[in-house]
Amino acid sequence: MRGLFKEVRDGGGNLLGYKRYPTYEQLLNPVSEVGTFRLQDLASPPGESTLARCVHRYNEARTRLLESPDRQAVWTEFAGLCESLDTEVQKYQARLRAEQPLVRFDQEAHFARDVLANIDWTAMEKGLGAGAVSP
């Protein structure tokens, strides 16, 4: 179920469920009353969207890469994650029948694979730095 969710609580502050709105504008200014999805009727509470979750995972991996750019394993993990995220987003986009790409990770994956293929990782990881680029 997609939408924007607003918590519904009782007078004591206990969470009862969620109201679902199809757009942000309707969340801010509802034009009609929407029902409440009771907490016990949901398999799980609302969470991040697929796109938000993918972007969050990408940003975490990018941070790890920037912290250790001299580690081949980090580049390999980053490339694999970008490929996986791109596939996940493409499947999500197909389900939505969206015509324009929502977000893509394929260019980051290609860049990381290119770096992996053109660095002498033995020299890089020993700290030889500038001399580590392959001819």
**Statement to judge: residues 59 and 121 lie in one domain:** yes
What would the pLDDT profile of 53-76 be if each residue is shown by its tens digit?
Answer: 999 999 999 999 999 999 999 999
- Provide the domain limits for residue 80: 50-132
Number of domains into which the chain is organized: 2
**Statement to judge: residues 8 and 27 lie in one domain:** yes
Point out the residues of the chain with pLDDT beneath 50: 130-135
**pLDDT at residue 131 in the model:** 43
Locate 78 and state its tokens. 């980053």
**pLDDT at residue 95 in the model:** 78
**Statement to judge: residues 31 and 55 lie in one domain:** no
**Statement to judge: residues 95 and 30 lie in one domain:** no
**Statement to judge: residues 126 and 67 lie in one domain:** yes
**pLDDT at residue 128 in the model:** 55
Spatial distance between the Cα atoms of 18 and 98, rounded to a whole number of angstroms: 27
Q: Model's pTM, two decimal places?
A: 0.67
CA-closest candidate to residue 17, choices 33, 41, 34, 1 = 41
